Structures are given as C-alpha cells and as structure tokens.
Amino acid sequence: MASLPLINHHHVSLLYALQSTTANTPKVFNDSPSSMAPLPHSLISHQHPNIQSAPPKSYGKVSERSTAHEETGDLKQESQLNFQAWRLGVETNTLRSWTVVPPECVEYVKSYMVGTGSQYGRDSYMVAKESMAYINSVKLSGDGKDAWVFDVDETLLSSLPFFAGHQYGGEGMDDDAFIKWADLAEAPPLPASRSFYAHLLELGLKIFLLTGRYDYERSATEKNLGRAGYHSWEALLMRDPEDYEKSAMLYKSERRLKIEQDGFRIVGNSGDQWSDLTGYAVGDRTFKLPNPLYYVA
C-alpha cells in the first residue's frame, strides 16, 4: 500500500466543499480542484491590503480623500499583521489559555476559514498529505495492534457552522450552546481527514476516537460521525463523570496510556489542540491540524 497516492478514485476528494445538512453553511474548500491551484489574485490582494490603486489626482497638496484612503490601507495592513502574528502564536502553542479571538482578528479568522481559496482548507489538506506520507513509510506489524488516535471536533468533524453564528470565536466558547448544537448531529466532515481515515482502515490500523465530549453525548456523536462518513472505529472514548474536571491533556494522556496497556501501539495521533498531542503516551508521531477558533487546555 506504500505506493497508494493521496488522491484516488477510491477516496472522497480532499478538495470538495465542506457540506452540511443545514443551509448557508460556510465552505472550507472551493467547489472544484482548482482550489489547490496557485493563489488567485483576489486572495493575494487580500493578503497584502497595502497594495492600493493609484490615489486620485490632486493639484498642489494631497487630497483629503487620498490621505484617508492611505490611512485605511495602513490600518488594514496593521490588522492583517496582527492576525498573522496572533495565529502563529496560537498554532505554535506560544499563546495559551486564551478564551476569545481578539476583536481585531475576527474578520481575518473568518477570511482564513471561509475566504477565497480557503487557506484553512489548504492547511488541513497539507496535514492530511503529510500524515499519508508518514503512514505509507511505516512498516506495520500486521498483527492488528497498530493504532491511530484521532480527536473529533476540528479534526474529523468541523464546527464551523456553529462558530459562523458566534463571530468565528469572537464571542468566546459557550459550552452549553455548543452541546445543544452538537446534539443535532449535523457537523460536516473535514474532507482531507475523512480520506486519510479511510486509508488507515485499508491499511488495517485500529482507529481510536478520543474526544473531549461528555459520555452523555455519545449517541449524537456516533450519529454525526456516521452521517459524515466515518465508520469501523475500534472505540469512541469520551469523558466519563470522573473525567469531567480533568484537564484535556491529563484526560487524553490517561486514555492513550490505557490504549497502550491494552497492547496497542499508537503509531500516529491527530488533533487540533496541543492538549491532544502533549502529555504522555502521545504516540510515535503527532499531527496538528489548524484551529484559530478556540483553545482547550
């Protein structure tokens, strides 16, 4: 199986638009494979908002309109730079324990998640591609004990439809509202992750789903995963009452250790939070998916 390409007719295309059972769902991917083509001019212009058209002609001093236009461009550039610096801090685990997307970053989070070309979709695709290259290079035991651990939200399923109604993280995380939304079982899949998941099953790996969701959400979670095209997992591990007050890092470390104690070898571990990938019993290699929407310690 080492020669299996990332994209083939057996898998759902990694580049399709995120689909939801609800209307007007923001899309992570464009509707066609062209989303992986070189950045379109509109996206490049968005990334460099200081690129302005020629200012209106004026005779003598610079017109007030031109000056205001340049000041607006400077402010947009500063906001973009602030967002890039903030997101770098988030993705490298430099910024920790943040509870809300800064107001000046909200529009850029939206643009990153659903804008032209969807950089979020491209970043997720890159993680899946590297995960695929890695597992194809691993010599598996073939004894049924090789395992991969996945987080669920923002790793296999996307909560983007929920956060689109909550200022893309600008309102902070409302746990009760999220649980009610998750109970609808309508979260769409991340296409790149779903295709990689299917490849792992073809290779014979055992898949463990390790989520921070609570045990009373099991029925809705299983229903949502099935609707999104996920199946045949070894176990869906959720927080039991004794886990409710534990940090995500401790809870997930304990569950991964139990997987290893049961005789499985965790050859890979995918998650969108650093608390999914740190602690102990993290596996042979970890893969971090992007998430500028919320932070879980």
C-alpha 149/C-alpha 152 separation (Å) is 10
199, amino acid identity: H
**Residue 273, SS3 per DSSP:** coil
Q: For 169-216, write each residue's pLDDT tens digit.
A: 999 889 999 999 999 999 999 999 999 999 999 999 999 999 999 999
Structure-model confidence comparison of residues 54 and 68, the more confident one? 68
Domain spanning 73-288 has what CATH number? 3.40.50.1000
| Cβ-contact 113, 294 below 8 angstroms | no
Q: For 283-296, write each residue's pLDDT tens digit.
A: 999 999 999 999 99
Instruction: Give 205's contacts (C-beta < 8 A, 6+ positions apart).
Output: 135, 140, 146, 147, 148, 267
Residue 81 in this model has a pLDDT that exceeds 90: no
Beta strands in 193-234 (DSSP E): 206-214
Residue 60 in this model has a pLDDT that exceeds 70: no
Instruction: Give 156's contacts (C-beta < 8 A, 6+ positions apart).
Output: 150, 189, 190, 193, 194, 197, 209, 225, 228, 230
Instruction: Give me the percent of the chain exceeding a pLDDT of 90.
Output: 70
Residue 173: its pLDDT value, please?
Answer: 87
Q: Band of the pLDDT at 234, cuts 50, 70, 90? A: very high
Structure-model confidence comparison of residues 39 and 144, the more confident one? 144
Q: Beta strand 265-271 with 286-288: parallel, antiparallel or unpaired?
A: parallel
For 66, the enclosing helix (H) or strand (E) is: helix 64-91
- Count, residues in the chain: 297
Buried b (16+ CB within 10 A) or exposed e, 126-139: ebbbebbeebeeee
For 235, the enclosing helix (H) or strand (E) is: strand 235-239
Residue 86: its pLDDT value, please?
Answer: 95
Q: Which of 47-56, 153-162, 167-176 has maximum average pLDDT?
A: 153-162
Residue 248 in this model has a pLDDT that exceeds 70: yes
> Rg of the chain over CA atoms, in angstroms?
21
Residue 9: its pLDDT value, please?
Answer: 36
Q: For 16-34, write each residue's pLDDT tens digit.
A: 333 333 344 454 443 333 3
The mean pLDDT of the chain is: 81
Residue 77: its pLDDT value, please?
Answer: 65
Mean pLDDT value of segment 86-114:
94
Residue 276 in this model has a pLDDT that exceeds 80: yes
Residue 72 in this model has a pLDDT that exceeds 70: no
Query: Phi, psi (5° rounding) for residue 237?
Result: -100, 125
Residue 75 in this model has a pLDDT that exceeds 70: no
Q: For 105-120, write each residue's pLDDT tens digit.
A: 999 999 999 966 789 9
Q: Band of the pLDDT at 221, cuts 50, 70, 90? A: very high
C-alpha 100/C-alpha 120 separation (Å) is 19
Task: Give the number of other CB atoms < 10 A from CB of residue 96.
Answer: 11
Q: For 137-159, write each residue's pLDDT tens digit.
A: 999 999 999 999 999 999 999 99
Q: Both tokens of residue 286?
A: 């970890």
C-alpha 3/C-alpha 52 separation (Å) is 47
Residue 79: its pLDDT value, please?
Answer: 65
Residue 20: its pLDDT value, please?
Answer: 37
